[in-house]
Amino acid sequence: MPDTLTKLAYQTFQQGKSYFGLTHKTLSSQVMRVVNPPKEAQVQELDLETLQLFQRRMSDLLECDWQDAEAGVYPKELLFDNPWSDFFQFYPLVCLDLPKIWDRANMKEQQSFDQDIDTAGYPKYYLQNFHHQTNGYLSDLSANLYDLQVEILFNGTADPMRRRILAPLKTGLAGAGDKPKILDVACGTGRTLSMMRDTLPKASLYGVDLSPAYLRKANETLAAKPGVLPQLIQANGESLPFVDNYFDAVVSVFLFHELPAVARQNVINEAHRVVKPGGTLVICDSIQMLDSPEFEVAMKNFPAMFHEPYYRHYVTDDLNQRLAEAGFEHVSNQIHFMSKYWVARKPLAE
Ligand SMILES: C[S@@+](CC[C@H](N)C(=O)[O-])C[C@H]1O[C@@H](n2cnc3c(N)ncnc32)[C@H](O)[C@@H]1O
């Protein structure tokens, strides 16, 4: 396909995802107001100026995504990667799960797990119904619905935001040879691992996550596509099951806002321990008050609407300082739409 056509196809595809997300959220909140109205006013409306800025930043993100693909940072096919079979199989379940979500949100039940869910051995901070998800991160249903829920939440931009780690990752790997070892901390259902595999087909990929259900889902989706299977290990990012100086790069996407402050520092310290001298850490997570005060209302609304117990602290937490404390250097930041990126290097000699 000529490039202008491919670009148009990409823009149309993203527009479709955006309208779909908006329509889902509008309809579901209308139904919620009728069948299970929130007991408390949860959110402040965004003003027109903020909405317009939001729209502009989203367009900038998509342009950046297109530019990176066109520059060959990753294959253009990635721009159209979408788990269609999951969409058709699980979208009805996303809708059917909504009444339970509204109930839990209204009753402020935020640490509620079915009896058959084994909650033993997890850190206390993890046993939460993040985003009011049924059984938190600990069921196969949750793992099956997660990607769709996140796509809806971000109006189809979750993958474009994840892909922003790929350019700094490739730059960081410049001297690492053609078979770098890369770890994804909190790999979830494996979307980032899948992108990294398509971008760096010779890399040895590893993923850790605390959720066995999400790891099963990651294994299932990664195995369904060609390529070497990443090694998936159930582990806490605070104590990684790897020897020192093992990886050429460590990445982590959308984890830090779901950790209490101490755990954030522990994960950074562990990333520093397992990455080789000269290796790179790339973190992607939510924007923060520190550098995106224009979205203050959205950042206040987010933990009020979705159960995110550590988000309020996260948005004021200086991760640059934490990275420096762990021993990283050359820390740089980027902002793309609603996400922020930290790129850091472990010094060659310490
Ligand atoms: C918001 S999801 C992000 C998942 C994935 N990285 C993505 O891009 O969608 C947070 C993930 O972090 C995992 N998680 C939370 N705390 C963790 C910890 N201390 N160690 C390892 N994984 C953790 C959860 O199980 C969940 O899969």
According to DSSP, the residues that pair with 343 across neighbouring strands are 282, 332
The amino acid at residue 97 is D
Q: What would the two tokens of residue 221 be?
A: 């989706």
Q: In this predicted structure, what is the pLDDT of residue 1?
A: 56
Alpha helices in the chain (DSSP H): 3-35, 48-70, 84-107, 140-153, 158-163, 166-172, 191-199, 212-223, 261-274, 296-305, 311-314, 319-326
Three-state DSSP class for residue 258: helix
According to DSSP, the residues that pair with 345 across neighbouring strands are 280, 329
Q: Give the position of tokens 């990684």.
A: 240
Q: In this predicted structure, what is the pLDDT of residue 343?
A: 98
Q: In this predicted structure, what is the pLDDT of residue 42?
A: 65
Whole-number Cα distances in Å, 251 to 210, 212, 245: 16, 20, 15
Residue-wise pLDDT tens for the chain (350 aa)?
568 899 999 999 999 999 999 999 888 888 887 777 776 656 778 888 999 999 999 999 999 999 999 999 999 999 999 988 899 999 999 999 888 888 888 878 788 888 999 999 999 999 988 888 889 999 999 999 999 999 998 999 999 999 999 999 999 999 898 899 999 999 999 999 999 999 999 999 999 999 999 999 999 999 999 999 999 999 999 999 999 999 999 999 999 999 999 999 999 999 999 999 999 999 999 999 988 999 998 888 888 778 889 999 999 999 999 999 999 999 999 999 999 999 999 999 76
Choose among 185, 211, 192, 240: nearest CA to 133: 211
Q: In this predicted structure, what is the pLDDT of residue 31?
A: 81
Q: Give the position of tokens 């930043």.
A: 57
Q: Rg of the chain over CA atoms, in angstroms?
A: 20
The interaxial angle of helices 3-35 and 84-107, nearest 10 deg, is 30
Which residues make Cβ contacts (< 8 Å) with residue 22, sequence separation at least 6?
155
Topology (CATH) of 158-345:
Rossmann fold (3.40.50)
Q: Is the CB of 17 under 6 A from ligand 1?
A: no
Q: Where are the domains of the chain?
A: 3-153, 158-345
Three-state DSSP class for residue 317: coil
Residue 299 Cα, ligand 1 centroid: separation in angstroms? 20
Q: Is the CB of 65 under 6 A from ligand 1?
A: no
Q: Is the CB of 188 under 6 A from ligand 1?
A: yes
Q: In this predicted structure, what is the pLDDT of residue 2?
A: 64
Which atom of ligand 1 is least distant from the CA of 188?
A: 27
Residue 238 Cα, ligand 1 centroid: separation in angstroms? 12
DSSP class of 242: S
Q: How far apart are CA 256 and CA 82, in angstroms?
A: 25
Residue 64 Cα, ligand 1 centroid: separation in angstroms? 25
Q: In this predicted structure, what is the pLDDT of residue 108?
A: 81
